[in-house]
Amino acid sequence: MNGDTPEVVMTADAARELTDRIRTHLEVACELIKQAFASRAWSALGYGSWEDYCAGEFDNARVRIPREDRAEVVASMREIGMSTRAIAAATGLGYGTVQRDLREPSGDPNGSPDTVIGLDGKQYPPKPVAPQSDSPAPSDGGDAAKPKRRPITKAFDATRYELVKNTKSLVRLAQDERFDRYAAQLAHSHRSDLIRARDALQSVIDRLPEHSTHPEEG
């Protein structure tokens, strides 16, 4: 065997199982980060801010989020009220990177809370995440100018992409060996929400024809 080339000893099935376990642990770690933020763990341990806590406890062990999952993780942290800087401190990402991820893939941080919690634990209005390209149309002196909307085909596809990705994440969690142990607890907290989401999705599917042409959007 060449000393510069490691020998491949793992089967594809074993590699897939290992990769899925890593993803599961990343998801658990992200949930624990959100729990620590929401419960002000940094204050209980004597830190002056969330940023100091992250630097002191996890400086060399921050969660490294795969690029393809980053926007989803950042959005989930935003949903519980974490500010852009708080997310950056927890993940080791740059402030600008978090800003870009809050825009992906639809160009709008949907689900952003009315207030966010800063590094000091105080609530602030969220700073708007500016779109990358679309801008308000210039006023001609008539009605107030309205922001240019993204083509519905692109917005729909971006939302579909996130839905499929989130659904796959839920399926992976349901395949976790711990799922059955906590199924009753999960059902109490989330089953009704999932049923409502299923029914809402079905109402969208019902409006889509099974076979159609592809007209250009006007």
- Domain annotation covers residue 193: yes
pLDDT at 142: 41
pLDDT score for 144: 44
Q: Tell me what the mean pLDDT of segment 198-204 comes to.
A: 88
Q: Are residues 116 and 184 in the same domain?
A: no
Nearest-angstrom CA–CA distance, 186 and 191: 7
With vertex at residue 207, the alpha carbon angle to CA 205 and CA 208, rounded to the nearest 5 degrees, is 70
Number of domains into which the chain is organized: 2
Say yes or no: 185 and 94 in one domain.
Answer: no
Kindly state whether residues 30 and 91 are assigned to the same domain. Answer: yes
Structure-model confidence comparison of residues 214 and 158, the more confident one: 158
Q: Are 32 and 41 in contact (CB under 8 A)?
A: no
pLDDT exceeds 80 at position 206: yes
Domain contains 216: no
User: Residue 107's closest CA among 132, 72, 74, 82?
Assistant: 132
pLDDT-based confidence at residue 62 (cuts at 50, 70, 90)? low
Output the six-digit token pair for 174.
């349901």
Mean per-residue pLDDT over the chain, rounded: 75
Residue 172 belongs to domain spanning: 152-206
What is the distance between the alpha carbons of residues 138 and 114, in angstroms, rounded to a whole number?
28
Confirm whether 215 is domain-assigned: no
For residue range 181-192, list pLDDT tens digits in order: 888 888 888 888
Q: Could you tell me if residue 99 is inside a domain?
A: yes
Same domain, 39 and 119: yes
pLDDT above 80: residue 129: no
Do 24 and 82 lie in one domain? The reply is: yes
Out of 124, 143, 178, pick the residue that ends a domain. Answer: 124
Whether residue 56 lies inside any domain: the answer is: yes
Cα separation, 117 vs 37, in Å, equals 9
- 59 and 111 together in one domain: yes
pLDDT cut 70: percent of the chain above it: 70
Is 5 within the bounds of a domain?
A: no
Domain-embedded: residue 145: no
**In a shared domain, residues 47 and 107:** yes
Same domain, 101 and 34: yes
The two structure tokens encoding residue 205: 């599917």
> pLDDT (tens digit, 9 = 90+) per residue, 66-108?
787 788 888 888 888 888 888 888 888 888 888 888 876 443 4
Predicted pLDDT at 134: 42
118 and 156 both lie in a single domain: no
The last residue of a domain, from among 105, 124, 143: 124
Dihedral of the alpha carbons of 185, 189, 192, 194, in degrees to the nearest 10: -90
**pLDDT, tens only, 104-127:** 644 344 445 555 665 555 655 655
Q: Measured in whole angstroms, how far is the alpha carbon of residue 11 from the centre of its chain?
A: 31
Same domain, 79 and 115: yes
Mean pLDDT of 134-159: 59
pLDDT value for 2: 52
Residues 100 and 171 in one domain: no
Q: Is there a single domain that holds both residue 176 and residue 87?
A: no
Q: Which residues pair with 124 in a beta bridge?
A: 116
Domain assignment of residue 55, yes or no = yes
Position 165 pLDDT exceeds 80: yes
